[in-house]
Amino acid sequence: MALSKDKKREVVSEVSELLGSSKLTVIAQYDGTSVKAMQTLRAQARENGTQVKVVKNRLFKLALQADKRFEDVPQDLFNGQLLYAFNSEDEVAPASSLANFAKTETQVQFVGGLSSDGQFLSADDVRALASLPGKDQLRAQLVGTIAAPLSGFANVLAGNVRGVLNVLNARADQLG
């Protein structure tokens, strides 16, 4: 179904907003992916704040041209059926969402990515980003790293008290 000029302007405006607020935009081919699988991808991506959109390549190019940060993005990438994953909160989430989905739907292939500062990332760069842990996982690792010496110290102190209690219990058993 053909889009009216007003609808096209609306789509370009929406994509421009998403590009402006997104920390990372991932571009991927999805040739041969079923509608049901795409719905699954959108639902899984939504869980970590990623928005997946299928936009006509010409309209996406118009949105890119409207933003001066993306002047150096190669225009020959926008061929075939492409989807775009945006996330305004996490730099890794769109890449990891698509990478997890691509494990079961092998026809989904990374084309590249766009960082918030306008830098173009190759498909290999996006794959490398996808293998990084997310913000929540990094925070948990940091808390664990900070808490480890404290919990170790508490165990050492408790060990001395336990040793004394064990000696006193053993002596009480001998006397009693």
Query: Is residue 174 domain-shared with residue 108, that is, in the same domain?
Result: no
- CB neighbour list of residue 61: distance below 8 Å, 6 or more residues apart: 75, 78
**Same domain, residue pair 108 and 171:** no
Residues 28 and 92 both lie in one domain? yes
Provide the domain limits for residue 161: 134-176
The reply to whether 127 and 148 lie within a common domain is no
Q: Which residues pair with 26 in a beta bridge?
A: 85, 113
CATH number at residue 97: 3.30.70.1730
Which amino acid does the sequence have at 14? E
Question: Of 53, 83, 56, 67, which is closest to residue 119 (Cα–Cα)?
Answer: 67
Per-residue pLDDT tens digits for 23-65: 889 999 988 888 999 999 999 889 988 999 998 989 988 888 8
Mark whether 125 and 148 lie in a shared domain: no
87 and 165 housed in the same domain: no
CA angle 119, 120, 123 (to 5 degrees): 145
- The pLDDT value recorded for residue 1 is 57
Beta bridge partners of 52: 85
- The predicted structure's pLDDT at residue 26: 92
- At 19, the pLDDT band (50, 70, 90 cuts) reads confident
pLDDT class for 123, splitting at 50, 70, 90? confident
Distance CA 122, CA 113 (A): 7
pLDDT band for 84, please (50, 70, 90 cuts): very high
Q: Cβ contacts of residue 98 below 8 Å, gap of 6+?
A: 26, 28, 41, 45, 85, 108, 110, 130
**Are 168 and 120 contained in the same domain?**
no
Report, as an integer, the average pLDDT of 114-136: 84
Average the pLDDT over 72-88 and give the result. Answer: 86
Structural domain count of the chain = 2
Strand intervals (E) in 58-162 = 82-87, 109-115, 120-122
CA dist., res. 82 & res. 60, Å (int): 10
For the residues 98-120, what does the mean pLDDT come to? 88
Same domain? 33 vs 114: yes
User: What's the pLDDT at 39?
Assistant: 92
Say if residue 83 is in the same domain as residue 143.
Answer: no
Inter-residue contact 42 to 52 (CB < 8 Å): yes
Rounded distance between C-alpha atoms, residue 51 and residue 66, angstroms: 21
Q: Distance from CA of residue 25 to its chain's centroid?
A: 10
**Are 105 and 169 within one domain?**
no
Same-domain status, 74 and 95: yes
Note whether 125 and 38 are same-domain residues: yes
